[in-house]
Amino acid sequence: MAKSARFQVDPRLATLLGESYRSSEHALKELVDNAWDADAHEVDIQLPAPMTNDPIVIRDDGTGMTEQEVRSEYLKVASDRRSRKGEETLSLKRRIKGRKGIGKFAGLMAASTMVMETQAHGKRTGLVIRKEDLLDSRQDLEKIDLPLTTSECDERDHGTTITLTDLNQALAFPTAERLRELLVLEYGRRSDFTIRVNGEALAIEDIPGEAFTERAQLQAEGPVKLSLTFAEGKRPLKHPGVVVRVGGKVVGKPIYFGLDEDEEVPGKLLKKVYGEIEADGLAADVTPDWGAIIENSTGFKAVETWAREQLKEKLNKVFVRQMSLAKARLQQEIDRRLAGLPEHRRRFAEAALQRVLTKFYGESEERRGTVINVMLDAFERDEYWAVIQAIEVARHQGVATFADALGQFGLVDMAVIGLQTRRRLEILDRLDELMTRPDTQEKELHQVIERNLWLLEGDFTLLSSNQTVATILKKWADKEFTGDRAKKRPDLLLCAMLTGRHLLIEFKEPGHSIDRDDETQATKYRDDLRRHFDPLEVLVIGGRAATSVDANWRPPGLHVRSYAAVVSAARARLGWLLDQLTNDQQAA
């Protein structure tokens, strides 16, 4: 007699499936994928504040589901949606992300209770899934009763909200930052799909930078499209590189097509690349978990070769342009300082600066400012030229190889920078001492800082003081603080900044905390002096900001620093530079 048999599905399977994600952020992404598949335009993810019992809420404005759909589709385990409903979404023709029919369990990785509420066609359907019930049940998965509710809602309402409560305390809570990084990789450049995490939309389209798009038709692999953005800004990208997208879905990690091994490529710039390459022709070469492209894929080799060439060309283009831009911004100050040098020295100095700037390419403007400033100082000192001259003499005496080697590696420049940096660190030590002595007057600190404006470099690139500016300031103060007001005369210094701006510095005693009255005073001086110098910013340096003062409520263009902060920031910059030099020597 012919009999039949049936699989029995242990309910634990559901929680096992939910736990197969690498992190809770990966799990949440699965729920975002569901919103995408539901043709949502917006997804709002609310993460709990640390140390609270708040839930995680994922709300989308997609099609939602009717009770019937909840029963027949949502609750269907491991059914392939694409064979059921096709490769594309109904109205927006998006490529479906869901494929395994298990995404809904992802929420159970992070939480013990998952509430799903969905609205479609005037009906609201609610469903509660408890991990405990699944784990404790002795029955088959399909025999477990899940509480389901229905009610009326507005005909126009549609969308689904997943609420995850009783979060798994053993697990690292999902962080907004990590989740955004993850989502941006896949959804960052979609204009029809806005994702907000804690109320803030992902902002990859806003990443400022130079962008390129290249397309090609490869022989066997079909159409490929490469999009690249060279991100601006000082913050390093968390996931730089180019992701491969096959069938709309990202495969594996960002890559550089081997250019990270190429010595000719400026590595710092490479780390600014954010891009993707679409190569649907590689679909057959993707591993089943969509985690990588299978090794030895000849199709991928072809795509890679094309992409490497494109990327390298763009890198060079951007590099050349950014180098000259970076120089142009600093050029005014460089020219001014070099103008004081005799002609033959000037040409040499220009070449040396160029060499050093190339070496420090990709560092922040602030850091390049530090390097240039140190170099310019060195040029103004005779010992630099003494070294250069010694090398020239050596060259003529036939000790050429050594001298050439020195010149080639820029070791002279580096050595001089090193010397100069150490000298500056000594100045910082002196300032430290001065600052902490109880009887120090603001006048003394004023003198040291005026003679060493590089101290303020981090925030104000390439400051300089000159006679004209000083005279105008003095005239104003003489007029303003006469008679009994003379005692109130502030200790001021006016500096020219790069790009025509000016900075008014007011020095306070190192023991004095800067309060609102000081800020108001300083702003008033600035407003008075604006007639002569506009734009004009003002910096008050003193003990530190009074504890009662909220730095967020400060008028624009007003800066407050403590002497200690100035010293420690300068120390950090110089420390970095010394580190660079040491590494450089070792590499050479």
Ligand X SMILES: Nc1ncnc2c1ncn2[C@@H]1O[C@H](COP(=O)(O)OP(=O)(O)O)[C@@H](O)[C@H]1O
Q: How far is the CB of 100 from Mg ion (least distance, A)?
A: 8
- Residue 580's binding partner among Mg ion, ligand X, none (Cβ under 5 to 8 angstroms by kind) is none
Q: How far is the CB of 36 from ligand X (least distance, A)?
A: 9
Query: How far is residue 33's CA from residue 40's CA, in Å, rounded to a whole number?
Result: 10
Query: How far is residue 87's CA from residue 107's CA, in Å, rounded to a whole number?
Result: 24
- Residue 98 binds ligand X (CB under 6 A): yes
- Residue 103 binds Mg ion (CB under 5 A): yes
Pairing state between β 222-231 and 273-278: antiparallel
Q: What is the largest CA-CA distance in the chain?
A: 120
User: What proportions of the chain, in percent to the nearest 5, are helix, strand and coil?
Assistant: 45, 20, 30
Phi, psi of 372, rounded to the nearest 5 degrees: -60, -45
- Residue 101 binds Mg ion (CB under 5 A): no
Residue 98 or 418 with smaller CB distance to Mg ion: 98
Half-sphere exposure of 283 (CA within 13 A, CB side): 7
Q: How far is the CB of 45 from ligand X (least distance, A)?
A: 12
Single out the segment in contact with Mg ion by CB under 5 A; choices: 8-16, 27-35, 263-271, 430-438: 27-35
What DSSP element (H or E) covers 403?
A: helix 400-408
Q: Given candidates 14, 17, 28, 35, which one binds ligand X under the rule CB under 6 A?
A: 35
Query: How far is residue 222's CA from residue 512's CA, in Å, rounded to a whole number?
Result: 70
Single out the segment in contact with ligand X by CB under 6 A; choices: 34-42, 211-219, 277-285, 402-410: 34-42
Residue entry with tokens 């049936």 = 6
Q: Which x/- pattern over 551-570 shows residues binding ligand X (rule: CB under 6 A)?
A: --------------------
Pairing state between β 42-46 and 194-197: parallel
Residue entry with tokens 């199709």 = 299
Secondary structure (DSSP) of 29-45: HHHHHHHHHTT-SEEEE
Residue nearest to Mg ion (CB): 103
Single out the segment in contact with Mg ion by CB under 5 A; choices: 61-69, 102-110, 273-281, 540-548: 102-110
Q: Which x/- pattern over 141-180 shows residues binding ligand X (rule: CB under 6 A)?
A: -------------------x--------------------
- Residue 62 binds Mg ion (CB under 5 A): no
Q: Is 166 helix (H, G, I), strand (E, B) or coil?
A: strand
Q: How far is the CB of 26 from Mg ion (least distance, A)?
A: 13
- Residue 27 binds ligand X (CB under 6 A): no
Query: How far is residue 75's CA from residue 116's CA, in Å, rounded to a whole number?
Result: 11
Residue type, 442: E
Q: Is 572 helix (H, G, I), strand (E, B) or coil?
A: helix
Residue 34 or 160 with smaller CB distance to Mg ion: 34
- Residue 73 binds ligand X (CB under 6 A): yes
- Residue 125's binding partner among ligand X, Mg ion, none (Cβ under 5 to 8 angstroms by kind) is none
Residue entry with tokens 């003990």 = 543
Strand spans (E) along 171-219: 194-197, 200-201, 209-218
- Residue 102 binds ligand X (CB under 6 A): yes
Residue nearest to ligand X (CB): 98
Q: Given candidates 98, 281, 407, 458, which one binds Mg ion under the rule CB under 5 A?
A: 98
> Which residues 235-254 are close enough to bind ligand X by CB under 6 A?
none
Rg of the chain taking only CA atoms, in angstroms: 32
Residue 38 or 129 with smaller CB distance to ligand X: 38
10: left (phi over 0), alpha (psi -120 to 50) or beta: beta
Q: How far is the CB of 83 from ligand X (least distance, A)?
A: 10
Q: Given candidates 11, 27, 37, 202, which one binds ligand X under the rule CB under 6 A?
A: 37
Pairing state between β 111-120 and 123-130: antiparallel
Single out the segment in contact with Mg ion by CB under 5 A; choices: 26-34, 279-287, 405-413, 457-465: 26-34
Q: Is 20 helix (H, G, I), strand (E, B) or coil?
A: coil
Residue 60 or 518 with smaller CB distance to ligand X: 60
- Residue 103 binds ligand X (CB under 6 A): yes
Omega before 510 cis (within 30°)? Answer: no
Residue 74 or 212 with smaller CB distance to ligand X: 74
Phi, psi of 238, rounded to the nearest 5 degrees: -75, -40
- Residue 125 binds ligand X (CB under 6 A): no
- Residue 18 binds ligand X (CB under 6 A): no
Q: What is the DSSP letter of 70?
A: I
Q: Given candidates 101, 174, 241, 510, which one binds ligand X under the rule CB under 6 A?
A: 101
Q: Which residues bind ligand X (CB under 6 A)?
A: 34-35, 37-38, 60, 62-65, 73-74, 81, 98-104, 160
- Binding residues (CB under 5 A) for Mg ion: these are 34, 98, 103
